[in-house]
Structure 1
């Protein structure tokens, strides 16, 4: 859908950014703006800032930035038109129907087509499972204890024995090879077209809106790989989805059960634990932890009880902790996974295991202890030091002291001794951090990172400074015109900002409207969120502003001279070059405004 600048601005200005973002993020007042924990990456200290005056947000941790439209696009995984429609409905604004650009039509049609193809593929696999040719797959699911109702609920299927069955079916439906190749379901080359999934039971993967976006398949027999998943497409991103989340989000339980595989999720849902989810054929990611935080504050881990499962749990726990999620571990011994446990002992016993789930940090320490023979003094000393190092994850003193008390009692070490070890390790870590900063990251001895260099940072700083101090525009524009911003997207941003100044209405968030792609919006928004991070007196500010202006002007002149094709412009450029070198005559003073 194509929207005019007026329509975009009407939606943006009609959507209070603090109110909209406040529905997703717990914002707290800080000076003239608001801060909170970033919803796009894991963090413990708030670095996500919302500026109501500029109607923009920025995270100083991961760098995301934008307007209210950008936020909705990023958080809800919406396209630009979808975000516009969402915000318009929230604000009670009716958007007229307008024509799409050719590229917008192509992208929208392709996404829509892929959703249709995936839905038809899922229906085909399900029908195949229920046909005589799908008996092997159907028997597999029945032998795993799944009911027909569960098979239908999850849309489980079978891909057939042949290598071109689905391809032939969809070709008969009228889809082109180009469209089919975009789904990730086929291998299409000069030798022909082949189904990627064959002789496998199929697990449709749905997004939060119940659309089929990909598939997982388990082979029948001993072929490799045992499990195969769809490659990433414009619909399917493994890190931004979780199997079963479309159902789990509707559950009445306050927590979410995180499993290792699709069958564990399905078995738990069939047993009434409809809050179960799993990662998509790959290791759990920090992005998935952030997604889970949107729906719960507690995650129960049910990874397999073997060595690989324990390793996966140990990897997931810190990610969940960093996302602000309390994690607990469900012990399923003597059984390997939830599916085996429920088949053997039933739902009530699994409910008891949920209630008895172990604190995730205590689980980490328990696994750690198995690496040491604590009856040996040397081994016990090493374990105590390692335990103290792990306690550093808790920044809150009260929380850390509570764990110290619990661990000292359980592992026979005096509270004072364990606390002393924690302090010692904290000081050592702090010392190493400072050394790393100074040697590896380029940090100065005072802990501040050196100023960014380069013309792009100068562009950012000057444009943001002009928004903060519009009274300087006349003085600055006499020296640096819009044509002096040589690099995109700063060139376009400067043109739009200068145009706003000339009209007497400066709204930087409106400039973001001119860019539809989320990445472009973030980059433009970042321009107007760049500020000095040090306090300066008026003389220092004046000196910094002049350095900035002359740097941009010199860069512009030098680039024009370098790319000069019209010799008649040489003289005027050389005159400008001489003027800029004689700075006293072009000095910008802040004392008179």
Structure 2
């Protein structure tokens, strides 16, 4: 459904971007802008800038940017219409309802169609589980002590032994082979024909935080490989950006989250009353998943399997979670392998005790490290303490590092001063390496092409123009959109000039709405977010502006002169080149 541009603009204007972003990201006012840690990539120093004046955001670290619609779309993984509805509801604007015609139904966006296909597939799998065909899967789940209530809560199902049943069902609903292929539920082969991705498996619908089915996991019944199979990457499903069970866990009102390895662990914990459990989706834990958790909690407890593979997975996850700014503890489930086994054997009360006794993640790392050394052997013991010292470098604050050195001394009686000297020794050896890397980066940064230099100059001028709209009048007849290098730059400049001409003002956030892809929106936001030296006198600013305009105009004239085709064009260019030599833009006269 399409909404009038005026209505879209009203919703944007009434949703102040600083207020909206502040609901998800901790911001601190810095000058005219607000800064915070970017929610779209891991970082320790704030590079995420939100401008109330421009009503847009831009990350100087990863380059994302846009207006309030872009932020909600990216943060919540919404389509534009979903973001529009969310923001309209936020400011009590009622969107007009409209019945879809048959033609309009066909034009519904691809994402909407894929969501509907997944919903229908989840219903079909659930129906199959409760049918005679699904007896094997239903008995598997009940033997795992799952109640009917839990089975229904998680929408568990069954894909039967016939390899194209789901395909035939979805075809009856009118879906084409092309879109079914894009859903990840069906494979279409020239020789084999169409066949289902999942068959003879217990099915686990995977939902996003808004309870929409975005993919599936399937556990094979009987013999077969792989034991667990997930949907492939689709427009909806990205394993690295989602967590199983988060749609329920995010509303649990508990101060922490439990991270498991598998679907059954999550389900068993929820059934036992621990509805703050989630699991990664068959892959190693990622930074994107850590950032996703950070939206809902500040502390996580790892309940990975207690075997070797689970221990390795926990050791890989800990630094990723720390990088996202989360506090981490590790739950000891021995002598049982996983939460599912533990709860079946000892019950929920005993598991709560294990939660209460969860181990500091650094202590867990040291405990695992200790298994590789014989501390009765002086040589092995020395190597162990050297490795401990290296690990202590992860604590960048001296007070925190000293506290952990003291804790290691209490446990291993190594001597506080001895261990601190060892830590300082390894810390000192890192400095030269970092210095070399920095110098290499600096040399690399100096190799800037003329084109890159002009793009940076263009960004600077566009930012300056929206910061000081007097420049539109002062640059009238001097600079036009054709002087900016590149199609996107020229398009944005044309929109700015048009806005100023028609409204006497410029609204960067409104211009961002004119671009569809997230990549273009981020790049446009960067054109309005270039930083420049603010601590300058008026005369210094005036000189800087004249130099900037001269560079852009001269580059444009030089470029156009290479493609001149007739005498009139040549005469026009010569005149502009002569005028350029006389250029002087004054800022002092207002």
TM-score for the superposition, normalised by structure 2: 0.92
**Match for residue 576 of structure 1?**
576
CA distance in 2, matches of 1:335, 1:492: 62
Match of 1:22 in 2: 22
Structure-2 separation of matches of 1:97 and 1:491: 37
Partners of 1:77 and 1:104 lie apart in 2 by: 23
**Distance verdict in 2 for CA 1:443–1:511, change over 3 Å:** same
Instruction: Judge conservation of contact 2:290–2:320 (CA < 8 Å) in 1.
Output: yes
Q: Determine whether 1:328 maps to 2:325.
A: no
Residue in 1 that maps onto 2:439: 438
Q: What residue number does 1:522 align with?
A: 522
Which residue does the alignment assign to 1:350?
351
Q: Deviations over 1:124-154 (max 9, x none)?
A: 2122222222222222222322222222221
| Number of aligned residue pairs | 588
Aligned partners of 2:63 and 2:523 also within 8 Å = no
2:244 is the alignment partner of 1:269: no
CA shift for structure 1 position 394 = 2.2
How do 1:191-230 residues align onto structure 2 when only pairs under 5 Å count? Answer: 191=191, 192-230=193-231
Alpha-carbon deviation of 1:197? 0.8
The residue correspondences of 1:238-253 to structure 2 (distance < 5 A) are 238-253=239-254
Distance 1:101 1:286, change over 3 A: farther
Match of 1:586 in 2: 583
CA contact (8 A) 1:258 1:302 kept: yes
**Contact 1:437/1:443 (8 A) holds in 2:** no
- CA 1:344/1:507 → structure 2, altered by over 3 Å: closer, same or farther? same
Tell me the equivalent position of 2:166: 166
Q: Structure 1 residue 562: deviation in Å?
A: 4.3
Question: Match of 1:300?
Answer: 301
Structure 1 398/101 Cα, relative in aligned 2: closer, same or farther at 3 Å? farther
Q: 1: distance between equivalents of 2:209 and 2:347?
A: 29
Verify: 1:491 aligned to 2:490, yes or no: yes
Change (3 A) 1:244 1:461: same
1:418 deviates by 2.4
* SS of 1:170 mapped into structure 2: helix
Deviates more, 1:176-185 or 1:4-13: 4-13
Paired position in structure 1 for 2:283: 282
SS at match of 1:554: helix
- Greater mean alpha carbon deviation, residues 252-261 or residues 62-71: 62-71
SS in 1 for 2:452: coil
Distance 1:32 1:577, change over 3 A: closer
> TM-score w.r.t. structure 1 length?
0.91
**2:458 paired residue number:** 459
Q: Which residue of 1 aligns with 2:68?
A: 68
On the 8 A contact 2:546/2:583 being kept in 1, the answer is no
Q: CA deviation at 1:259?
A: 0.3
Hey, what's the Cα distance between the residues in 1 that align with 2:206 and 2:317?
A: 21
Q: 1:49-198 counterparts in 2 under 5 A?
A: 49-96=49-96, 108-191=108-191, 192-198=193-199
Q: Greater CA deviation, 537-546 or 384-393? A: 537-546
DSSP-derived class of the 1:215 partner = strand
Per-residue deviation, residues 98-133 of structure 1 (Å, max 9, x unmatched) = 899999976734333222221221122122222222
Tell whether the 8 Å contact from 1:9 to 1:513 is kept in structure 2 after alignment. Answer: no
Q: CA RMSD of the aligned region, Å?
A: 2.9
Partner secondary structure for residue 284 of structure 2: coil
Structure 1 regions of 5+ residues with no counterpart?
none
Verify the 8 A CA contact 1:155 1:204 in the aligned structure 2: yes
Q: How does 1:532-551 map to 2 (within 5 A)?
A: 532=532, 541-551=541-551
SS in 2 for 1:553: helix
| Distance in 1 of aligned mates of 2:372 and 2:536 | 54
8 Å CA contact retained: 1:444, 1:450: no
How many Å separate the matches in 2 of 1:385 and 1:533? 46
The CA distance in 2 between the partners of 1:459 and 1:221, in whole Å, is 63
TM-aligned CA deviation for residue 22 of structure 1: 1.4
Change (3 A) 1:185 1:389: same
Cα distance, 1:474–1:116 mapped onto 2, change above 3 Å = closer
Do the aligned residues in 1 keep the contact of 2:245 with 2:278 (CA within 8 Å)?
A: yes
Give the equivalent residue in structure 2 for 1:382. 383
CA-to-aligned-CA distance 1:527-547 (integer Å, 9 cap, x gap): 111112686666664554334
Secondary structure in structure 1 of the residue aligned to 2:229? strand
Which shows bigger deviation, 232-241 or 539-548? 539-548
Rounded to whole Å, the distance in 2 between the matches of 1:476 and 1:267 is 67
Residue range with higher mean Cα deviation, 39-48 or 222-231 = 39-48
Q: 1:361 to 1:509 in 2, by over 3 A?
A: same
Q: Does residue 424 of structure 1 match 2:421?
A: no
How far did 1:341 drift?
1.4
Distance 2:185 2:80 in 1: 27
